[in-house]
Amino acid sequence: QVQLVESGGGSVQAGGSLTLSCATSGYTYDSVNSRIGWFRQAPGKEREGVAATYSLGGSKYYADSVRGRFTISQDKAKNRVYLLMSALKPEDTAIYYCAAGDRYGGAWYLQNDYDYWGQGTQVTVSS
């Protein structure tokens, strides 16, 4: 059974940093399409893709709104994926989710192309 558990959320002032962690279990990274993504959902808004990393090729993708401020990384030995968030803004406030998927042809930013989800962790950025 695949499980994903996020941690590391919290409250921070604008300009600060947080690192989110996604611990995975039961998920195998043996497909060229295997990817872990981070999504977020702010109050009253739809869930949006933030970043993703492809396990075998190492490709990384970012939403325009976070590129240059967020960094996604993976530690396969620890079965963890991290999201380092710096220069945080109030508009980054949201519940952050990690997700896993391996669908052929799937787009990293589409939540429907992921099969497994964590429960989410709250990030609050105050001005």
pLDDT one-digit tens code per residue, 15-29? 999 999 999 998 877
User: Of 17, 28, 15, whose CA–CA distance to 82 is shortest?
Assistant: 17
Tokens of 74: 């993976």
What single-letter amino acid sits at 51? A
- What average pLDDT score do residues 101-105 get? 84
Coil, helix or strand at residue 17: coil
Task: For 51-93, write each residue's pLDDT tens digit.
Answer: 999 988 789 999 999 999 999 999 988 899 999 999 999 999 9
Biggest CA pair distance of the chain: 42
Using alpha carbons, select from 6, 9, 17, 47 the residue that is nearest to residue 124.
9
